[in-house]
Amino acid sequence: MAGLLTVTKNRNVPLDKIRNIGIIAHIDAGKTTTTERILYYTGRTYKIGDIDEGTTQMDWMPQEKERGITITSAATTTFWRDVRINIIDTPGHVDFTAEVERSLRVLDGGVTVLDAEEGVQSQSETVWHQADKYKVPRICFINKMDKLGADFHRTVGMIRDRLGANPAVMNLPIGKEHEFKGVVDLLTKKSLVWGEMEMGAKFDVKDEIPADMVKDVGEYRHQLIEQICETDDKLLEKYLDGKEPSLEELKKALRQATIAYKFVLIFSGSSLRNKGVQPLLNAIVDYLPSPLDVASIKGINPKNNQEEVRKTETNQPFSALAFKIQLDPHVGKLTYIRIYSGKLTSGSYAWNSTKDKQERVGRLLLMHANQREEIPEALAGEIVAVVGLKETGTGDTLSDPQHPILLEKITFPEPVISLAIEPKTKVDQEKMGTALQKLAEEDPTFIIKSNLETGQTIIWGMGELHLDVLVDRMKREFNVMANVGAPQVAYKETIKSAAEGEGKYIRQTGGRGQYGHCLVRVEPKNRGEGYEFVDAIKGGAIPNEFIPSVAKGVKEALEKGVLAGYPLVDITVTLYDGTYHDVDSSDIAFKIAGSMALQNAVKQAGLILLEPIMKVEVTTPDEFMGKVIGDLSSKRAQILGTEKRGKVSIINCLVPLAELSGYATILRSLSQGRATYYMEPSHYEEVPKNITEKIVGATNPQVVRG
């Protein structure tokens, strides 16, 4: 089997010697480089991988090597000081936000990597708040201290101000930019200095602190000890009596405070220059939680809807969450699971509580990026891959068939961009459906829809890069050649006011006819609240068996849209009256009547179009700022503010996605290739009337004429 590994000798480590961590950050902050160094220093790899050379362990997909970015979250297992560390290296690009979301759901701790020159960037904020949602304790690694413009103190200030965190500085950098050579450990007051040789595997520990840093070290150390003592009453008493707690006491309190997320530990270094990674590894072992430190997992018993608690113990009933599906050319479908309680053995059966189906567990694998090692059983607290699960998808709960439990699902953002795709040849046509289905199984933010009127297949995703990578994977992994249309913005329709409508479907064709008649009321809901169908029929005006047919007709009409063919959202539809015929009424007649009634009602309810608005952050040299802002204003941008960062300016704004097609090229030409931008979905907003008319005119000319 490809890439077989042997780390089994150390596998059965006690639970307190396991760390499940994720490396999370903004694109280009150095996550993958940091992970590569961790693997090298822990002896997992013998050669340091390089992103620019395409030789990294964690970015193993061809698309990742070519683009120099992480696309899928790769999982790996390694050891440091007899502790087993399961690491997930997540993507930084916003198009792959689902990978980050699902990884954070199953991790116990995180390492946030920040760029010392850029500080806290937009995507750093996004992933930080995602981690907040799942209450993941984390450590910050301020990377790239050797970069021109690196500023440790400013970055710490941004962690406090922009992320709302309470930073506890653990070490201070010795020098910066090209003079960066090591760090001072504040707890031990020792200097750690790395030479240029041996790829940073060895470093000197010195008792003396550089003369120009003595004052700073004193101040920061005093502040750190104060912060630690404030979290523990006994230590605070000792400290107020003028006695300094011992190193052991400080470390113990520091661990408890980090796990309780009272503060975030700050380390510094330069992964690319091989400096500062070992103190980070020590911190992962010393301060981040083991599966035992994480509160028991809660779930619902599907049999009686009562809440149940499962402890992280192997003698508890088995429960696990499937958080990622990966298609592997050698073994087929791999399902990554985090086991919360009990144990799982290969060849056994597990109950999929989400889908009410029994699954057979084929083989269990420990993963190292795209290499794997077969294991006979997996225990509570572990992250493993399972071969052989047929029905299980992302976010499904697996449990003991005798003791079912349903864990909280993972929620994903809605896609904002689509494109039409069609096979090039008849042979491709047969293969394309299978390929798209398999890719959609892997990626919950990738959605496939068929346009029945045009016969086209439409694929939806989180951004142009996301769709580009998926089409590329279809070509390489499934050998499917396809023609791809231009990306289209995911507009939506909604209503502004309440209205009523009637739908009457009567057909008489000799013998038995068709009869369906219903009246509905539509009301707008708040943005993002979705669709609700209310059955308010009284006195049997429509028999119960026909009501689901009306609901089905309404739902189909909502999906097709009325104004310009985009789905109708944020609406309550109440079925309140109707009539039926003893002989002629049928499911199909009521379904058509429901669809007619809905269309009739929404046309009187002030139909409007909604468009996705993107949060955009442009980084530009000062001399091009006027041009860039002028261009953004022409794109209907709402400028939120600007800030100075060294010799560049950051422009924060909200821009409709429809205006951003090809923006990378425009920005390059405006700034001689020196400005960069980053964007992520923000919210949906009403499209201005003049633009609505253009869109409706292009999709539905008779509406405009009417």
How do residues 313-340 score in pLDDT, each as one tens digit? Answer: 888 999 999 888 877 777 788 888 999 9
Q: What is the pLDDT of residue 455?
A: 66
Confidence of residue 73 (pLDDT cuts 50, 70, 90): very low
Angstrom distance (rounded) from CA 159 to CA 169: 11
| 134-145 confidence digits (pLDDT tens) | 889 999 999 999
Rg (CA), the chain: 29
Reply yes or no on whether the pLDDT at 12 is more than 70.
no
Reply yes or no on whether the pLDDT at 344 is more than 90.
yes
Q: What is the topology classification, in CATH, of domain 493-605?
A: Ribosomal Protein S5; domain 2 (3.30.230)
Q: What is the pLDDT of residue 8?
A: 39
How far the first Cα of the chain sits from its last, in Å, is 66
Q: What is the pLDDT of residue 542?
A: 94
Q: What is the mean pLDDT of residues 107-129?
A: 85
- Which candidate, 125, 128, 179, places its Cα nearest to that of 152? 179
Longest distance between any two alpha carbons in the chain, whole Å:
103
Q: With contact defined as beta carbons under 8 Å apart, do 184 and 190 qualify?
A: yes
Q: What is the pLDDT of residue 59?
A: 40
422: left (phi over 0), alpha (psi -120 to 50) or beta: beta
Least confident of 291-295, 593-597, 702-706: 702-706
Reply yes or no on whether the pLDDT at 687 is more than 90.
yes
Cα→Cα distances 483→16, 419, 457, Å: 53, 10, 11
Q: What is the distance, to the nearest Å, from the Cα of residue 41 to the centroid of all Cα atoms in its chain?
A: 28
Confidence of residue 37 (pLDDT cuts 50, 70, 90): confident
Q: What is the pLDDT of residue 57?
A: 45
Confidence of residue 626 (pLDDT cuts 50, 70, 90): very high
Q: What is the pLDDT of residue 11?
A: 56
| Percentage of residues in the chain having pLDDT higher than 70 | 89
Residue showing tokens 């020196």: 674
Q: What is the pLDDT of residue 425?
A: 86
Q: What is the mean pLDDT of residues 290-296?
A: 84
The residue that leads in pLDDT, 523 or 163, is: 523
Q: What is the pLDDT of residue 197?
A: 63
Confidence of residue 423 (pLDDT cuts 50, 70, 90): confident
CATH code for the structural domain at 14-293: 3.40.50.300
Q: With contact defined as beta carbons under 8 Å apart, do 271 and 194 qualify?
A: no
Residues making up the binding site: 25-32, 89-93, 143-146
Confidence of residue 6 (pLDDT cuts 50, 70, 90): very low
478: left (phi over 0), alpha (psi -120 to 50) or beta: alpha
- Per-chain mean pLDDT for the chain: 85
Torsion sign (Cα): 158, 163, 164, 169: negative
Residue 606's CB: how many other CB atoms inside 10 A? 13
Q: What is the pLDDT of residue 74?
A: 55
Q: What is the mean pLDDT of residues 664-668?
A: 85
Reply yes or no on whether the pLDDT at 704 is more than 60.
no
Least confident of 441-445, 592-596, 623-627: 441-445
Q: What residue spans define the domains of the chain?
A: 14-293, 297-407, 417-486, 493-605, 612-692
The residue that leads in pLDDT, 465 or 686, is: 686
Q: What is the pLDDT of residue 694?
A: 87
Q: What is the topology classification, in CATH, of domain 297-407?
A: Elongation Factor Tu (Ef-tu); domain 3 (2.40.30)
Backbone angles phi, psi at 701, to 5 degrees: -55, -35
CATH code for the structural domain at 417-486: 3.30.70.870
Q: What is the pLDDT of residue 522?
A: 96
Q: What is the pLDDT of residue 89?
A: 64
| Percentage of residues in the chain having pLDDT higher than 90 | 42
Q: What is the mean pLDDT of residues 229-246?
A: 89
Predicted structure pTM score? 0.73
Beta bridge partners of 345: 377
Domains 14-293 and 493-605 share a fold: no
Q: What is the pLDDT of residue 219?
A: 94
Residues making up the binding site for GTP: 25-32, 89-93, 143-146
Q: What is the topology classification, in CATH, of domain 612-692?
A: Alpha-Beta Plaits (3.30.70)
- The 3-state DSSP class for residue 103 equals helix
The residue that leads in pLDDT, 163 or 133, is: 163
